[in-house]
Structure 1
Amino acid sequence: MSTPYSGATPAGGQAGYAPPADPAAQQNYASDYTENTAHSGAMGTPMTAAGNPDIEGISVGTLIGEVTKDLSTLMRQELELAKVEMKAEAKKAGQGAGMFGAAGFAGYMVALFLSLALMWALASAIPTGWSALIVAILWGIVGAVAFVMGRKKFQQVNPKPERTVDTLSEVPGALKPN
């Protein structure tokens, strides 16, 4: 049986619901929800033979109380479900960040060993000290270019959220009667 909470659409996924190729791989966030999720209203609405709610003899206040309790329970459950989903997605994001860190370290090692290979290749034509100096100067140029480009990007950053400030300044006017 499928529920609206039986799984999340992956980022960049399809626009509609498409069952996963492997049903065992589907994440069920609702199964992670462990709080007691019994109905908040103890009354339960009896049904007529025709399948309609039988509300004869029940006061409007009682019905509104049941609806209020059910809405309150629904909101708490939705909030808890959102927490469970966010926790699962944060875990995936953390794992992805760890993989990016490993990739960065691997890239550093590649650059290091390519630099050493270039140094030893140059050392076959000139003294080793001079070849190491040439490789260091090349890395200095790369670092200087990266610094200049990074500084330009930081100069373009505006720490003030302009659009938010504009829209927030319009809120008091929107609340006043025209």
Structure 2
Amino acid sequence: MTTNTAHGGGPAESASTADLVSQAATQISTLVRDELALAKLELAEKGKRAGIGGGLFGGAAVLAWFGLGLLLTLAVVLIDLVWPLWAAVLVVMVVVFAAAAVAALLGKQKLKAATPPLPSDAVAGVQADVRTVKTAAQTGRHA
């Protein structure tokens, strides 16, 4: 081991290149391992929060579903004040089925617009990148 007196000759400068590369590899390995452990802990915490949030959102959806049922029942009762019960139920049922049909048609249009499920913008970007690399490689060979 030789020391470099021009730069102060400290202990880091007396280490061989192989020792320095080995130390760097060890430090990088430790850094990556620590970062992965931190990411794992962070994802676990976020996963717990997402699970709780999803459960609360699901509970809210169930309560809203029951609320909708009660609202429809209220509509039947209100119409029953004017018409016979069978007519009130029939009217509310027709309105609900009409709303379902409209939602189904709109959903079908949205699904049709979303197909094929390929990331066309990303594919076009990759194809442009490949063309650029090919052009650069061909230009580099001719230069």
The verdict on a shared fold, with TM-score over 0.5 as the criterion, is yes
| Alpha-carbon distance between aligned partners in 2 of 1:74 and 1:136, rounded to the nearest angstrom | 64
CA distance in 2, matches of 1:148, 1:173: 43
Q: Within 2, Cα distance between the matches of 1:77 and 1:172?
A: 39
Q: Say if 2:130 is the partner of 1:171.
A: yes
TM-score, length-normalised on structure 1? 0.64
- Hey, what does 1:153 align to over in structure 2? 110
1:108 is matched with which residue: 65, 89, 93?
65
Distance 1:101 1:161 in 2: 30
Q: How far did residue 56 of structure 1 move?
A: 4.6
RMSD: 1.9
Shift of 1:168: 2.7
Change (3 A) 1:73 1:129: same
The amino acid that maps onto 1:133 is L
Q: Relative contact order: is structure 1 or structure 2 higher (C-alpha 8 Å, sep ≥ 6)?
A: 1
TM-score after normalising by structure 2: 0.78
Q: Displacement of 1:167 after TM fit?
A: 2.8
Q: Deviations over 1:86-108 (max 9, x none)?
A: 12112211211111111111111
Q: Show CA shifts across 1:98-129 (max 9, x none).
A: 11111111111111011111111111211111
Q: Return the alpha-carbon distance in structure 1 between the equivalents of residues 83 and 77 of structure 2.
A: 10
Aligned CA distance change for structure 1 residues 171 and 69 (closer, same or farther; 3 Å): farther
Q: 1:56 to 1:123 in 2, by over 3 A?
A: closer
Q: Unpaired runs of 5+ in structure 2?
A: 1-9
Q: Which has the higher helix share?
A: 2
For residues 1-178 of structure 1, the aligned pairs below 5 Å read: 54-158=11-115, 159-169=117-127, 170-171=129-130, 174=133, 177=137, 178=140
Unaligned runs of 5+ in 1: 1-52
Q: Does the C-alpha gap of structure 1 residues 54 and 131 become closer, same or farther in structure 2, counting only changes over 3 Å?
A: same
Bigger Cα displacement from structure 2, 146-155 vs 158-167: 158-167
Measured against aligned partners, the alpha-carbon deviations of 1:119-158 in whole angstroms (never above 9, x if no partner) come to 1111121111111111111111111111111111111103
Aligned length: 126
Which of the pair has more CA radius of gyration?
Answer: 2
**2:5 corresponds to:** none
CA distance in 2, matches of 1:172, 1:149: 39
